Chain A
Amino acid sequence: MSDDIWVLGTHMTKFGRYKDQDLIDLGATAAMGALADGGVHIDDVGIFGCGNLNQSNAGVGQRILKQIGQTGIPVYNVANACATGATAFRTAYLAIKAGECDMGLAVGVEQMGKQGLLGAANRAKRDEKVFEPNGRYGGVLQTEGVLGTGLMPGVFAQAGMEYAYENDGVGFEQFAKVAQKNHAHSVLNPLAHYQKEFSLEEVMGAEMISYPNTLMMCCPTTDGAAAAVLVSGERLRTLSAEQQRRAVKISASVLNSDPWTPSSQVQPDVNTLTRQAADRAYELAGVSPKDLDLVELHDCFATAELIHYDNLSLCERGGAGEWIDKRGPWRDGEIPVNVSGGLLSKGHPLGATGIANIYEVTTHLRGEAGDRQIPDAKVGLTHVIGLGSACAIHILERSGR
């Protein structure tokens, strides 16, 4: 126990749209919830990692402490695209690992509202228009829609279609089945933004956003927060039997960035870094994919989830289409994936996502997930991708009890 680092407490707000609460309200709610869940006080905490993307220059962590207790501890405000929350979590993890303190708080929070398509660049309109090369590519005008798309639904559609090109048995229907599954799972999760089941026909017949991703295959923009309290094994031993029983071991914590690959200049390669991070995490934890009782992975779009079955080695190499066809990732399948409803239904508050998935897996490992509990869950994996790119993977295991 002594060398390991543990999740002592965790909490997430319901994901949705909050008109009457601001970013700080949401973050403070998650932080206080995680402290209470862990049975500890803000005075016990020696480091605070705060993940937020859209207001990352605004001292969000300090502003949260001003609401919940200004104890003078170091705050690390982190931004790392959609891996922001997981990076905040890992910041606290690293401080404990380094021996700077024995307890840390990580919060991920985002308020997005109805933001619409992400990645759309705005360029100011001018009366006088003069074409002049600008930037690293010598561009003379906005190239979105002229030289392909860089918007998220299209980027991840292209990532999925690339997999379809290289592997048999993958097409629109297989991608749609991913969304059908996650929306079906969401019905059991009261914290999900949307909790509505759709038939495969409804998923495929919904408004086409960026083929093959229909509206039901794109995650919504959402407000929400999630938090975790991390503790060293040594400190955990001094806590109560109940705290020790509910603590969940962090068997692997991995963060990487995208290594150079030839095609990655025109389309971010979300595969290579995920595969490398996963291999490293399995090695660190001494766990194989077959040992996993549940996985929360980064389904920002249905096309993304399908390729990560392969990247995380949940299915045979090249076999992601076949795996969804035989219901491998359903909650009663071989390895349940995104039983929370995933980003597709739960929502994707960018900074919160990488801790919300740790909340989900922790809750199952403790046997406290209610109607959506995966029976006797012992080992789980969380995965997020921040485009550009960052990949974070955590493997969590329940305590011996």
Chain B
Amino acid sequence: MASQIPVVDYLVLDAEPHLVVNACVACGARFFDRRNACASCAGTEFRREPLGRSGKVRSFTIVHRAAPGVPTPYVSALVDLDGGMTVKSNIVNTDPTPEKVRLGMPVRLTTFVVDSDSRGVECVAFGFEPAN
């Protein structure tokens, strides 16, 4: 199998791919990016925490006119994960229509190869697909 790299460092590619956050030890606020300090309480100590792999669609948009080179239409969504935290990603493996994608719809995390580089390393992204 070709070697793989996650599209962002908060995606962990293991037997059960999942997302991780930097959680503030003092107040529990969670962040996807690397931190200088906590935006909620200014604390400076963080720990890594794994996130749930399922959730519900909190909001979505179906993008028809996009940045150059981005295939359309596609669904961008905010997903409330079970166990807490909201994440943005595409809704995949369903038709990009308001009939198929619904507010509150249960979804689960899935991963897919986006591209590979000159060395053959595959970039793996995550998305969410309907859970039912």
CB <8 Å contact, B114 and A161: no
Knowing A141-B123, A147-B90, A262-B86 touch, does A267 contact B78 (C-beta < 8 A)?
Answer: yes
Interface residues of B (CB under 8 A from A): 5-10, 29-34, 39-40, 58-68, 70-71, 74, 76-78, 84-90, 98, 103-104, 114-115, 117-119, 121, 123, 125-126
CA distance A188 to B30 in the complex (A): 49
CB <8 Å contact, B65 and A267: no
CB <8 Å contact, A146 and B114: yes
Instruction: Show 20 A/B contacts (Cβ-Cβ < 8 Å), sorted by A.
Output: A117-B65, A117-B66, A130-B118, A136-B33, A136-B34, A138-B9, A140-B5, A147-B125, A153-B63, A153-B65, A158-B60, A158-B61, A161-B60, A162-B78, A164-B103, A208-B64, A212-B98, A262-B30, A262-B85, A265-B31
CB <8 Å contact, B59 and A165: yes
Residue of B nearest to A127 (CB): B118
Assuming A130-B118, A143-B125, A164-B59, what are 7 further A-B pairs, CB within 8 angstroms? Answer: A131-B117, A138-B6, A145-B70, A146-B125, A147-B7, A147-B8, A147-B125
Cβ–Cβ < 8 Å partners of B68 in chain A: 120
Cβ-based interface call for A139 (8 A): yes
Least CB distance from A213 to B in Å reads 8
CA distance A128 to B39 in the complex (A): 38
CB <8 Å contact, A148 and B88: yes
Cβ–Cβ < 8 Å partners of B6 in chain A: 138, 140
CB <8 Å contact, A161 and B85: no
Give the interface residue-count category, chain A. Answer: 35 or more
Cβ-based interface call for A98 (8 A): no
Least CB distance from A266 to B in Å reads 4
Residue of B nearest to A145 (CB): B70
Least CB distance from A120 to B in Å reads 4
Residue of A nearest to B28 (CB): A262
Among residues 90 to 143 in chain A, which have CB atoms less than 8 Å away from a CB atom of chain B? 117, 120-121, 128-131, 133, 136-141, 143
Cβ–Cβ < 8 Å partners of A388 in chain B: none
Cβ-based interface call for A151 (8 A): yes
A263 in complex: contacting residue of B33, B86, B123, CB < 8 Å = B86
Cβ-based interface call for A172 (8 A): yes
CB <8 Å contact, A141 and B90: no
For the complex of A and B, the 9 pairs showing the least CB-CB separation, nearest first, are A138-B9, A145-B70, A157-B61, A148-B76, A211-B62, A162-B59, A266-B88, A136-B33, A148-B88
